Amino acid sequence: MDRVLLDYGSGGKASHRLIGELFLKYLGNAVLDRLDDAAFLEMSGPLSVSTDTFTVDPIFFPGGDIGSLAVHGTVNDVAMLGARPRYLTCGFILEEGLPMADLERIVESMGRAAREAGVLVVTGDTKVVPRGAVDKIFINTTGIGEVFVPEAPSGHRARPGDAILVSGFVGDHGLAILSKREGLTFEAPVLSDCASLNHLIVRLLETVPEVHVLRDPTRGGVATTLNEIAGQSGVECRILESSIPVRPEVSGGCSFLGLDPLYLANEGKFLCILPQEHAEAALSVMREDPLGRDAVQIGTVRAEHPGKVVLETPLGGTRLMDMLEGEQLPRIC
Amino acid sequence: MSLFDNFKDPELCKALLDRIHKELDGELRFMEVCGTHTVSIFRSGVRSLLSDKVVHLSGPGCPVCVTHDSEVAAFLELAGRNAIIATFGDLMRVPGPDKKSLKSAQAEGARVKVVYSPFDALKLAQDNPGDKVVFLGVGFETTAPAIAATVKVAREQGITNFSVLCFHKLVPPALDALVGDPELKVQAFLLPGHVSAIIGVEPYRFLAEKHGLPSVVAGFEPVDILQALHLFVTMRNEGRAEVVNAYTRVVSDAGNPKAVSVMHEVFEPADALWRGIGLIPGSGLTVREEYAAFDAMRVFGMELKDVPAIKGCRCGDVLKGKLSPDGCPLFGKACTPAAPVGPCMVSTEGSCAAYYKYKV
Ligand code: SF4
């Protein structure tokens, strides 16, 4: 059959075929292959757990697809607490009529992403809903990992005097998705930065365990994430605008659309806040990894305007960088 | 360094700022007429670097902000009918009289599609031959020519399910009305680069000649803006008032006559309602009789309805430079970007929204 049918979610023979021929083929491992009602795991705490549901449109985009994104996104969230992600669960909601070839491409890509991140998919679920009830495919992933640092990084731990680092260019994923979705073509194509950061995070925390905050600036981008941290910790995040790495093609695309790259989603970047005296050490660990090659310090934590993000512009002026009301919308003139 | 970086050069900006502050004697109250300038003045940090003597006021220069409540009510009425609404993104959140917006209408099932150009809307009409597609024509002289061109193409190609709800506004008549107000507290005008690229410099001459207000057409980079401020200071010190085109890399004195002629071929000037200001004679555009088949008002048999004025909103005063946005009693309390009361808080380019968003 070349399309997903309602039968595939029935729990009967069709479902079993789908599981055997597709999911186990790409995601299989000793735990999953047992096909029990639940996965038997051996872990010891403290643990980091995260869940996320992926509904991205389009499902295939320059630099990735919804499957790899569902793995990277959850692996990264688990890792941000100073944990080694170990296991993933995944739930699929499929729209009747989804081409089987698309589903296979997505599951294969998930398998590859999971292998690269070193996590096992240990249990899953598939539902098929009538055409129109969802948009092609939604994927939920839940991840779990063991925290290996004495004190887990948290958005509450930013302190005045800390340095704020970013692991590379911002806004790539958001603009890649938008340009594919709207059929916009820019001179230089922008690829999503979608990647699992866990190996880099482990190396970073093994070398510099003093890290206070780790956060991946996904939806809402760097601006929103910094606002969250400023609020959680009751501090000011003071950012030097000229130090934020933005690719010329991303800033070009953004100025054309009237968007701000600092509010665009990233899927392979993280913010790291730690005492200034450890900033250089952290940056050099990050720069040794291809995923952190362009890491830089973009600002410092202060006490002056608690809960606010203040941007210092290249002219030396200052302004607020607030959270947005809703999603960013391209402008009229 | 690219050409653009030159216009952001911090050293150059610092030198200009020094000169402005050194040469200025007394207070300079300038107003920009364009929302893109408003945002640039805040975003670049220029505003935080100006001394108290340089008073920055934001005028009526955001097309979304000045779209009248009764016009917003008309969009929403159309969204409730059997039509596909095509719009630029920034209209999505504009609240109508009963707090509804295109966004909430969409959530309730209205077919609303955000497009990036009026031609995308025309394509939408071609792709959905069984539906009527209405493009929301909001904006100044900047957007009107492209929309006029789209209407012409629609007629040439015999596309009959496409129309435009034409609520365009014209900048010079609005400025004329604004400067005619004896309470206006503005001494110089920063004129919009984009609008001027279309209409040229001539239509602004009255500002200097009739009202003695130095006015400068400027680009949107910090150097552009500071250069314009310095020109204001120089003109004042020399006792001159002129309209100067300082954005010659984009704006020619004559503007873009081709764009203007397309605009006038399809549209004609008409009285228009401005949110927060009211009726300004000759300050809008309507679709000419020859193109009536593409005028959504006529196609759907609609009329603008009276909508009660918003209580407590001081936008009129903000737009006239009489009040700073944070001087409005509702600012940041009853009126925020999440729940805007007045037009100036509605669009990201509105002056109240810019204050709320950027002022440290
Ligand atoms: S703060 Fe709100 S109510 Fe007050 S002038 Fe601005 S937009 Fe109008």
Q: State pLDDT tens for residues A1-10.
A: 688 888 887 7
Q: Per mean pLDDT, which range of A80-84, B193-197, B198-202, B285-289 is the poorest?
A: B193-197
In chain A, residues with a C-beta closer than 8 Å to the C-beta of B88 are 330-332
- Between the CA of B36 and the centroid of ligand 1 the distance, in Å, is 19
Q: What is the H or E stretch that residue A287 is in?
A: helix A279-287
Ligand 1 pocket (Cβ < 6 Å) reads: B 313-315, 318, 325, 328, 330-331, 335, 341-342, 344-345, 352
The B-side interface with A (CB below 8 A) comprises 8, 10, 13-14, 35-36, 42-49, 63-64, 88-93, 103, 114, 116, 138-140, 142-143, 194, 222, 337-338, 348-349, 356-360
Q: Does the pLDDT at position A331 exceed 70?
A: no
Give the CA-trace dihedral at B163, B169, B170, B172, to 10 degrees: 180
pLDDT digits (tens, 9 = 90+) for B130-173: 999 999 999 899 999 999 999 999 999 999 999 999 999 999 99
> B114–A308: do the CB atoms touch at under 8 Å?
no
What distance in Å separates the CA atoms of residue B26 and residue A257, rounded to the nearest whole number?
40
Q: How far is the CA of B153 from the centre of ligand 1 (A)?
A: 40
Name the 3-class secondary structure at A188: coil
Q: Is A41 on the interface with B (CB under 8 A)?
A: no
Portion of chain B with pLDDT greater than 70, in percent: 99
CB contacts, 8 Å: A319 with chain B: 42-43, 45, 47-48, 358-360
Q: What is the pLDDT of residue A179?
A: 84
Of B44, B64, B93, Cβ closest to residue A317: B44
Q: Does A45 touch chain B (CB under 8 A)?
A: no
User: How many Å apart are CA A216 and CA A270, to the nearest integer?
Assistant: 4
Average pLDDT over residues A15-27: 88
> B165: which 2 tokens?
């709800």
List of chain A residues whose C-beta atoms are within 8 Å of the C-beta of residue B8: 314-315
Distance from the alpha carbon of residue B349 to the mean position of ligand 1, in angstroms: 13
List chain A residues with CB under 8 Å of B35: 333
Q: Per-residue pLDDT for A144 more than 70?
A: yes
Mean pLDDT of A277-294: 97
Instruction: Determine, for residues A315 and B46 on separate chains, whether the beta-carbon distance falls below 8 Å.
Output: yes
Closest atom of ligand 1 to B340 CA is 2
Give the per-residue SS3 of chain B.
CCHHHHCCCHHHHHHHHHHHHHHCCCCEEEEECCHHHHHHHHHCCHHHHCCCCEEEEECCCCCCCCECHHHHHHHHHHHCCCEEEEECHHHCCCCCCCCCCHHHHHHCCCEEEECCCHHHHHHHHHHCCCCEEEEEECCCCCCHHHHHHHHHHHHHCCCCCEEEEECCECHHHHHHHHHCCCCCCCCEEEECHHHHHHHCCHHHHHHHHCCCCCEEECCCCHHHHHHHHHHHHHHHHCCCCCEEECCCCCCCCCCCHHHHHHHHHHEEEEEEEECCCEEEEEEEEEECHHHHHHEHHHHCCCCCCCCCCCCCCCHHHHHCCCCCHHHCCCECCCECCCCCCCHHHHCCCCHHHHHHHHCC
Least confident span in A73-77, A211-215, B115-119? B115-119
Task: Please give the pLDDT value at position B5.
Answer: 62
- How far does B336 lie from chain A, in Å, by closest CA? 10
Q: Do A166 and A245 form a contact (C-beta atoms < 8 A)?
A: yes
CB contact under 8 A, A331 and B90: yes
Does residue A104 carry a pLDDT above 70?
A: yes
Neighbours of A228 (CB within 10 A): 17
The whole-angstrom separation of Cα B141 and Cα B255 is 11
User: How many Cβ atoms sit within 10 Å of the Cβ of residue A108?
Assistant: 17
The answer to whether the CB atoms of B89 and A326 lie below 8 A apart is no
- Is A225 in contact with A188 (CB distance < 8 Å)? no
Cα separations in angstroms, B354 against A39, A319, B176, B330: 52, 10, 25, 15
**Which residue, B124, B157, B200, B169, is CA-closest to B293?**
B157
pLDDT tens digits, one per residue of B290-306? 999 999 999 999 999 88
| Mean local confidence (pLDDT), B332-348 | 82
pLDDT at position B99, please? 78
Contacts of B168 in chain A (CB under 8 A): none
Report whether A211 contacts A274 (CB < 8 A): yes
The answer to whether A38 contacts chain B (CB < 8 Å) is: no
* Chain B contacts in chain A segment 61-100 (CB below 8 A): none
Q: Please, which residues bridge with residue B280 across strands? A: B272
Chain A residues within an 8 Å CB radius of B43: 313, 319
Least confident of A217-221, B262-266, B304-308: B304-308
- What distance in Å separates the CA atoms of residue A250 and residue B230, rounded to the nearest whole number? 33
Q: Calculate mean pLDDT across residues A201-214.
A: 96
CA B180, B195, B168: angle at the middle one, nearest 5?
75
Instruction: Enter the pTM of the model.
Output: 0.82
Chain A partners within 8 Å of B45 (Cβ)? 311-319
The number of the ligand 1 atom at minimal distance from the alpha carbon of B332 is 1
Closest approach atom of ligand 1 to CA B351: 6
Cβ distance A333 to B49 less than 8 Å, yes or no, reads: no
User: Cα-flanking dihedrals φ and ψ of residue B138, to 5°?
Assistant: -120, 140
Residue A228 Cα, gap to closest chain B Cα (Å): 16
Looking at residue A327, its pLDDT comes to 67
Residue B3 has pLDDT above 60, yes or no: no
Instruction: Please give the distance of CA B68 from its chain centroid, rounded to a whole number.
Output: 12
**Which residue reads 């004559």 in tokens?**
B254
Sheet of A271-275: strands edge to edge? A213-215, A271-275, A162-166, A296-302, A236-240, A309-312, A318-320
- Kindly determine whether residue A313 and residue B45, on different chains, have CB atoms separated by under 8 Å: yes
Contact A35, A122 (CB under 8 A): no
Angstroms from B196 CA to nearest CA on chain A = 13
Closest CA of chain B from A198, distance in Å: 35
* Strand, coil or helix: A13: helix
Give the pLDDT mean for A194-220: 96
What average pLDDT does the segment B62-72 reach? 86
- CB–CB contact B45 A318 (8 Å): yes
| Ligand 1 centre distance from Cα of residue B331 (Å) | 6
Determine the residue of chain A that is closest to B49 in CA distance.
A317
Q: Does A326 touch chain B (CB under 8 A)?
A: yes
Question: Which residue of chain A is at minimal alpha-carbon distance from B103?
Answer: A326
Tell whether the model's pLDDT for residue B116 goes beyond 90. Answer: no
**What is the average pLDDT score of chain A?**
92
Chain A and chain B share a number of CB contacts under 8 A equal to: 89
C-alpha to C-alpha distance for B356 and B354, rounded to whole angstroms: 5
- pLDDT higher than threshold 80 for residue B251: yes
Closest Cα of chain B to A244: distance in Å? Answer: 15
Nearest protein Cα to ligand 1, atom 3: B313
The whole-number pLDDT of residue B359 equals 83
**Quick check: A11 pLDDT over 80?**
no
Q: A212 touching B, CB under 8 A?
A: no
Cβ neighbors of A30 (< 8 A, separation 6 or more) are none
Task: Answer yes or no: do A319 and B49 touch at CB < 8 A.
Answer: no
The reply to whether A13 touches chain B by the CB within 8 Å rule is: no
- pLDDT category of residue B278 using cuts at 50, 70 and 90: confident
Question: What's the mean pLDDT in A96-100?
Answer: 94
Q: Please give the residue of chain B at the shortest CA–CA distance from A315.
A: B10
Angle ∠(B247,B249,B254) on CA atoms, nearest 5: 70
- Antiparallel, parallel or unpaired: β A47-54 and A137-147: antiparallel
The token pair at B182 is 């004896």
Pick the residue of B12, B62, B357 with the most A CBs within 10 A to test the interface with A by mutation.
B357
Residue at B50: amino acid letter = L
- Contact A317/B49, CB-based, under 8 Å? yes
Q: What is the mean pLDDT of residues A96-107?
A: 95
Q: What is the pLDDT of residues A230-240, one digit of tens each?
A: 999 999 999 99
* Mean per-residue pLDDT, B65-69: 85
Does the pLDDT of residue A59 top 90, yes or no?
yes
Interface confidence, given as ipTM, is: 0.71
Q: Is A322 on the interface with B (CB under 8 A)?
A: yes
Lowest-confidence segment of A273-282, B81-90, B315-324 by average pLDDT: B315-324
Segment A117-128 mean pLDDT: 94
Contact A317 B10 (CB under 8 A): no
pLDDT at B1 over 60: no
Per-residue pLDDT tens digits for A245-266:
999 989 888 877 778 899 999 9
> Dihedral of the CA atoms A173, A178, A180, A184 (nearest 10)?
-130
Six-digit token pair at A298? Answer: 């973009």
